[in-house]
Structure 1
Amino acid sequence: MKLVLAEKPSVGQELARVLKATQKQNGYYEGNGYLVTWSLGHLLTLKMPEQYHPEWAEWTFDTLPMIPEKLAITPLKETRKQLAVVKHLAKRADIEYGIIATDAGREGELVARYIFDYLEFKRPLKRLWISSQTDAAIRDGFAHLRPAAEFEHLYQAALARAEADWLVGLNVSRALTVKYHDSLSAGRVQTPTLAFVAAQEAKIAHFKPQTFYKLNVATPLGTAVLAQQLTQTEAEQLRQRLTGQPLTVVKATAKQTVEQPPLPYDLNELQQAANQQYDFSPKQTLNVLQRLYEREKLVTYPRTDSRYLTHDLEATMGARLQAMGRYSKTAAQLSRHPQAPAYIYNDAKVGDHYGLIPTEQAVDPLRLEADELKIYRLIAERFMDLFKPAYQAEVITYTLKLDTQTLKVKTTSVQEPGFKATTPSTAPKLAVGATLQGQITIKKQQTTPPARLNEATLLGKMDHYGLGTPATRADIIDKLQHAGSMSKHGRELVMTPKGQSLLKLVNPDLVSPDLTARWEAQLQAIEKGQTTRPVFINEIKAETKRLVLAIKQSTTVYQDPNLTQKKCPECGHRLRERPTKVGVKLQCSNPECHYSRFRDPKVTNHRCSQCHKKMVILSGAKGDYFKCQNCGNTEQMSAAKGGRHARVNKREQQQLLKQYSKAQAPEESPLAAALKAAMAKK
């Protein structure tokens, strides 16, 4: 028997189907010589501080920095049942070897290796490494399994990333929280990312607009603009002097322009394009893309950082275009003679995965959801462009003389539209010495401030400075917004008072992208075997000690932007607002007091037993209770759910349960979730 470990149940089900492991069991499939089981994201995570030393459960400076001699892993409570299934299968005597079939990337490697290491799996390990989820790709991948040892450097890089986030994230966040008595979170990637938004806000705040005037000259060749920025008086005087005078061509320079089709998307560029065209958040794009990859099997591996293709893919291009026939007649036509430019094939520039392109799986656009079709369209159109001719045009730059003024104007004659959505055109041509008339107008202009960053431009900055990876950047931007450090107004990202305050409290080295980018470069070096995890972690430990010491010694005063004028009824301290998924809570700012309540009454579907109006939920000394705002009647929630006045039907119970449940985003790491839970207690 071969034990196959997928990353999630849906993928495990598909692998089992292709492998013909048809006997469905509790938590796995069996058959045809295979046992196919799965993780549920992470089944294990790094231990929390109190699991190393009981005294580390206390949030005090005396326990900081917390640096275990060796970081260890522990099961997650919510997924213990599935871990027990995997453990049972791993201990079976008939297991020949294990197969890692989690996502083919850094985090997917960590998911599987945590499990096999924790279970002390002694059999050989092999790796399934595929870039698409089609049946053909899965069969080919299982026919060419690679030794897991080939991916040891990838695992070490993933482990180093997790350990670095534990050391920096937990220690710095706890130090800030203890120092300033507020839930403040900082990290090696999220903090410099937030600083990009703050820096752009500062540029806008210091910008001073200036008004100026320019002369526009409309000619048969196009509109020419005088370069000078003039005052209104200067512009009026110059227009009067030049009006009626002819323009003379003193120079004409022709240039042939050839523009090749762009390379396929990588994840970062696709997220930028989806944000610009459809206002999709990076997280939304990644989630949709993951469905197109796993469920629909229409695109290749999503979390790629390469835009090039490998040479072995060249023979598959015709089949990929044919599979797109129901999406586009153009694709069917291109499939007859699929000739893509040679520059797209470059094995040296492909890392773990090649660029995002369609698979050989036939597409039915009618089956796709609206968001899926939008993302598929971006990938498909870029892919089809590869098989179209280059764009060719002749651009002539004319230098014109108007009295003593020199102007320039360009004309474009499109000779071959190629992959661009345009038509052939011919611009008028003039010889040197030719004269023409122009109409002069004055245009009032004003210097404009820099644009605020949006999710697309922030992704570009993160990519440029090497912050995070294509697989993690969407989560980082999402977490900063959920933490209240920045918010989204329309398409623009703006700083919140809490985010501004946080950046003033954190050591400048952690705010700068340089230090974090260097760390990320070291993680990539670990992947390539150019350095080791212990070397990197030793540097992280030293930086952690320095960062915590800087917070301890800081004299910066923190003004809590979420502190209200409302007083705690139990201890008299001021209450602090804290946004939650079910409304804003008011929590006592006294670290020793645990009082909290919702700021606004929560209207429910529970009906008053007296007047039958909907009741609200309020918080009191004995816990939450129902109150009717119409007649003033109150009911304990326990009595309302099970007593003689109970009027909560099944649907209402589900809504209340959903309202009070703590939903966790599926992409959130267990360390982040644990840190969030710990911060919420403070």
Structure 2
Amino acid sequence: MKSLVIAEKPSVGRDIAKVLKCSKNINGAIEGEKYVVTWGLGHLVTLADPEAYDEKYKEWKMEYLPMLPKKFELVVMKQTSNQYKTVKTQIHRKDISDIIIATDAGREGELVARWILEKAINQKPVRRLWISSVTDKAIKEGFLHLKNGKEYENLYQAAVARAEADWIVGMNATRALTCKYNASLSCGRVQTPTLAMIAAREEEIKSFTPVPYYGLVGKINGMTIIWTDKKSNGHTTFERSKIEELYSRVKGKTGVVCDRTSTVKKVYSPGLYDLTELQRDANKKFDFSAKETLNIMQRLYENHKVLTYPRTDSRYLPNDIVGTLKERLESISVGPYRKLAGILAKKPIITNSSFVDDQKVSDHHAIIPTEQYVNLENMSYDERKIYDLVVRRFLAVLYPPYVYEEVTIKIDIEKEDFIAKGKIEKSLGYKEVYEKSSEDETIDDKSTVLPNINKNDVLEDIVFTITEGKTKPPAPFNEASLLSAMENPVHFLEQKKKALIQTLGETGGLGTVATRADIIEKLFHSFLMEKRGKDIFITSKGKQLLELVPKDLKTPELTAQLEMKLSKISTGNLKKQELMNEMTNYTKEIVAEIKTSDGTFRHDNMTNTKCPNCGKKMLLVSGKNSKMLVCQDRECGYRETIERTSNARCPVCHKKMGLKGKGDAQIFTCACGYKEKLSAFTQRRKKEGAGVGKKDVANYMKKMKSEAQAPVNNAFADAFAKLKL
């Protein structure tokens, strides 16, 4: 008899098959003496659409709402139906004794496998492989410690509850809004509050009034002294008259040094990465979208096997991982990391609670390198950027703290306090990891040496200057700051209740580390928000949607409460049906509110271009990287791209150009005013690229092989990445 192993994706399935010595390829599976390994393609089975419960739901009509299935049905996804048939066939083989679930170790991974087993009516015993990396070593160890599938039944119930709750709320609210206002309007418990935060930020910026503030500084012997308010310890005031009076009082006066103190300070490395923190940093440093970072991380985990599981919400390691750290240091001892890792490998590993804490690790620990040997030249340019972030952060937490001496001089002038601060660097510590890189921006490491001034010294000839500035509005959201707001949306709560704030903290805010990237992409693709440069703004469609949806759907509270209850289900402290009863009643209230509302939806992006399918006027919408014409009739569904951001660079300002039009009439345009027909551009590129032949490419690849052992941010790599061969 054999065990059937179900992986989430083909690549992971093949890795497991290799470790289990399965080599016989059959359609969609690999067989060995003791095991058969097969896989999903992500989800193979999903919840049925409304029309599966009643034919009438094929029509979107308000009188059919709410749609509340008594029992949810599962359907095989059409695009992956052949693979489902393969898995089902393997499940029901007579020589298969049991099933081993080897999908991603988490709530959604559990759902992928369990839905397949449920749809296939599996009656065989189930065991669970639960691992955080897919290296050969991790797979072998995982198979030595397989769990009983029953231990994860509550996790499965929580996953099903999440899917069914999102179905009844999302399907019903979307259909109700669309039918009521005859426009394609979608909403959900995560995407709508996220959109509301963007709108709230824009309103903050719009209503912000700058307020001038003032300060007073003095210069003496190259040293800067700053006035400090005795009550607030602040250095500025909103009262100009106060600063002017102070200036008149101290001008030309001498100062007396009241105190000189020296304090040694330590700064520890920032914590290890979870997915959200990594996505934030990648967006700030490389302008990667959250989705791009997740996709790159998935390749580094799944294909290269050099980083651990990406979809983690923990920035800590459990104690049982500490014993593997030396081996991980050996695996990354290549290229720019060889010397840094070598220093650590020669000494005992010193850990502390800032990054090792069993209580702060749930399903998966922080993202760190695996024990797999690393071949940098096999990675793409973007993969190396993400790998570099993770490896340097891993090294940094193992290095000692950055140490400096802070010198503070307090000066009394006419009974007013002035402060001067200096800094002397003592030990680079973890900053050695970033010494030749701009990656670490946690602290200003420039030394500022103060003159030799001691207590009771008298200071003369001080030159004073009044400083002034204005308060600034909050910045518009970009993907990095939006991820932060989704993770911690407390600022956007209408009611700052302690229980809700605690709930949001415990559940990780809006969405999960695994879903936030998709939520952001969905808001772009639904034309509810758009990008202008790096900044994100709500569209007219998005603003109107927020005016029309019920209030509860716009706040983070619903998601916080749901995630808390899902967590209780996963730990066996709440029955799934109790939550579903609540969500059913909530959905009824939402639909009733939409039905009786009296708002209107107006297309303010209507064009005079008629749809080639139905003849109705089309709407101009801005996507993430393109502009499109979309038919206003949601049932028609016609759309066409009329302008997109290309990778072609403007020869004048070197920014990316837009490409407009169709066929031979296409034209490149740039914000600087430069325009060029596609045909002329092609001819120009041919001339410019005439000198690039096979030999040049071969020489470049040879060069890249050696560059792979150099720091990732070298100038040559940056320059070459911009060329289009």
Determine the C-alpha separation between the residues in 2 that align with 1:35 and 1:571.
52
Matched with 2:301 is 293
The answer on 1:78 being equivalent to 2:85 is no
Determine the C-alpha separation between the residues in 2 that align with 1:193 and 1:286.
19
Runs of 5+ consecutive residues of structure 2 not aligned to the other structure: 229-234, 433-444, 489-503, 645-661, 667-725
| 2:227–2:417 CA contact under 8 A, matched in 1 | no
Matched with 2:440 is none
Return the match for 2:273 from 254, 261, 265: 265
Matched with 2:549 is 506
The residue correspondences of 1:359-508 to structure 2 (distance < 5 A) are 359-421=370-432, 422=445, 428=451, 430-437=453-460, 438-464=462-488, 465=504, 466-508=509-551
Determine the C-alpha separation between the residues in 1 that align with 2:240 and 2:260.
32
2:10 partner amino acid: P
- Which stretch shifts more, 245-254 or 264-273? 245-254
Matched with 2:258 is 250
The answer on 1:352 being equivalent to 2:376 is no
1:248 partner amino acid: V
Determine the C-alpha separation between the residues in 1 that align with 2:382 and 2:261.
46
Determine the C-alpha separation between the residues in 2 that align with 1:601 and 1:113.
43
Determine the C-alpha separation between the residues in 1 that align with 2:169 and 2:328.
45
Q: Deviations over 1:349-396 (max 9, x none)?
A: 210111111111121222221111111111111111222112333334
Q: Deviations over 1:89-114 (max 9, x none)?
A: 11110002111111111111111000
| 2:265–2:403 CA contact under 8 A, matched in 1 | yes
| 1:318–1:337 CA contact under 8 A, matched in 2 | no
Return the match for 2:226 from 224, 227, 230: 224
The 3-state SS of whatever aligns with 1:461 is: helix
The 3-state SS of whatever aligns with 1:2 is: strand
The 3-state SS of whatever aligns with 1:386 is: helix
Identity of aligned residues (%): 42
Q: Deviations over 1:448-476 (max 9, x none)?
A: 11111221221112112421111111111
1:35 partner amino acid: V
Matched with 2:344 is 334
1:435 partner amino acid: V
Matched with 1:47 is 48
Q: What is the deviation of 1:232? A: 7.2
Matched with 1:661 is none
Residues 205 and 331 of structure 1: CA distance in aligned 2, closer, same or farther (over 3 Å)? same
| 1:272–1:455 CA contact under 8 A, matched in 2 | yes
2:302 partner amino acid: E
Return the match for 1:584 from 625, 628, 645: 628
The residue correspondences of 1:649-660 to structure 2 (distance < 5 A) are none
2:315 partner amino acid: R
The 3-state SS of whatever aligns with 1:450 is: coil
The answer on 1:522 being equivalent to 2:545 is no
Determine the C-alpha separation between the residues in 1 that align with 2:82 and 2:414.
86
Residues 490 and 600 of structure 1: CA distance in aligned 2, closer, same or farther (over 3 Å)? closer
Residues 234 and 352 of structure 1: CA distance in aligned 2, closer, same or farther (over 3 Å)? closer
Determine the C-alpha separation between the residues in 1 that align with 2:267 and 2:386.
25
Matched with 2:24 is 23
| 1:414–1:425 CA contact under 8 A, matched in 2 | no
The answer on 1:165 being equivalent to 2:175 is no
Q: Deviations over 1:321-343 (max 9, x none)?
A: 11111141110221122423231
1:95 partner amino acid: I
1:559 partner amino acid: R
Q: Deviations over 1:588-624 (max 9, x none)?
A: 54x7x8495758599xxxxxxxxxx96789xxxxxxx
2:406 partner amino acid: V
Return the match for 1:308 from 301, 311, 316: 316
Determine the C-alpha separation between the residues in 2 that align with 1:424 and 1:340.
28
Determine the C-alpha separation between the residues in 1 that align with 2:39 and 2:189.
31
Q: Deviations over 1:471-500 (max 9, x none)?
A: 111111111111111112222211111111
Matched with 1:142 is 143
Determine the C-alpha separation between the residues in 2 that align with 1:240 and 1:80.
83
| 1:416–1:424 CA contact under 8 A, matched in 2 | no
Residues 189 and 569 of structure 1: CA distance in aligned 2, closer, same or farther (over 3 Å)? closer
Q: Deviations over 1:20-60 (max 9, x none)?
A: 11111211111132111111111111010010011112211
Q: Deviations over 1:266-286 (max 9, x none)?
A: 111111121122221111111
Q: What is the deviation of 1:214? A: 3.1
Matched with 1:647 is none
The answer on 1:319 being equivalent to 2:327 is yes
The 3-state SS of whatever aligns with 1:419 is: helix
The answer on 1:124 being equivalent to 2:131 is no
Matched with 1:533 is 576
Matched with 2:687 is none
The 3-state SS of whatever aligns with 1:130 is: coil
Determine the C-alpha separation between the residues in 2 that align with 1:20 and 1:474.
36
The residue correspondences of 1:538-617 to structure 2 (distance < 5 A) are 538-564=581-607, 574-577=617-620, 584-589=628-633, 594=636, 596=638, 598=640
Determine the C-alpha separation between the residues in 1 that align with 2:82 and 2:97.
24
1:395 partner amino acid: E
Q: What is the deviation of 1:573? A: 6.0
- Which stretch shifts more, 325-334 or 294-303? 325-334
The 3-state SS of whatever aligns with 1:163 is: helix
The 3-state SS of whatever aligns with 1:97 is: strand
The 3-state SS of whatever aligns with 1:178 is: helix
Residues 440 and 583 of structure 1: CA distance in aligned 2, closer, same or farther (over 3 Å)? closer
Determine the C-alpha separation between the residues in 1 that align with 2:643 and 2:244.
64
| 1:215–1:442 CA contact under 8 A, matched in 2 | yes
